[in-house]
Amino acid sequence: MPWMWNAVILLLAYLLGSIPNAVWIGRLFFSTDVRNHGSKNAGSTNTIRVLGYKAGIPVLLLDILKGFLAVKMIYLTFYYIPATGEYINFQLLLGLAVIIGHIFPVFANFRGGKGVATLIGVILAIDPVSMLICIGVFMITLIVTKYVSLSSMIAGLSFPVLVIVVFNTTTSSLIIFSLIVFVLLLFTHQKNIERLLNNEESKANFLFRKRDVSN
């Protein structure tokens, strides 16, 4: 039955999201659990902070790839017609499943990242134009403020604004998904919001630090 196969695919998407790239790469190649250092977050930004770009960039790319591949799991079905409401709805469910897997990974004691990189992959697979604009918003905000957390939340806010206001989307499930995405980002950034309000949030100066390339 289709619903049973859908459940299997959604479970696979969750398990894909549960692959803790930051944790595994840190432990395997650097004997370090990034969750015990820096911001204690299992994401690419903290990996860069703790282990440098040589670890952080692969984590970023792999986390983005998780989100992208999860949405493309819809090709494992044979009963959804592309561009229809049901097709989009199941893509969005796959996206939510992989994001939840990243935030609460079964393979890392349910202590994962904040889901930003994986979210990028999800939206790239579903709505690439909106995602590229969100990336632009993120980069501009980061350059101006040096706060990764604030940049992520503002970029997250720009997604529903783009979907609802700019592109005037009529697909209700996509509108709901965009709002859920923003709420999820607020949920995973609760501590960052508190630090921002108290002017205690650390700026990501390490991302802009010039590297000595001389021998």
Residues 44 and 66 in one domain: yes
How far apart CA 25 and CA 157 sit, in angstroms, is 31
Residues 141 and 172 in one domain: yes
Q: Along the 215 residues of the chain, how does pLDDT read in single tens digits?
A: 588 999 999 999 999 999 999 999 999 999 999 999 988 889 898 999 899 999 999 999 999 999 999 999 999 998 899 888 899 999 999 999 999 999 999 999 999 988 889 999 999 999 999 999 999 999 999 999 999 999 999 999 999 999 999 999 888 999 999 999 899 889 989 999 999 999 998 888 877 765 544 43
Which of 79, 114, 149 corresponds to the end of one domain? 114
Residues 135 and 198 in one domain: yes
How far apart CA 60 and CA 105 sit, in angstroms, is 16
Supply φ then ψ for residue 104, to 5 degrees. Answer: -125, 75
The count of domains in the chain is: 2
Which of 92, 114, 136 corresponds to the end of one domain? 114
Domain housing 38: 1-114
- 129's tokens: 């134009």
In a domain, 215, yes or no: no
How far apart CA 32 and CA 51 sit, in angstroms, is 9
How far apart CA 160 and CA 182 sit, in angstroms, is 8
In a domain, 213, yes or no: no
How far apart CA 213 and CA 56 sit, in angstroms, is 18
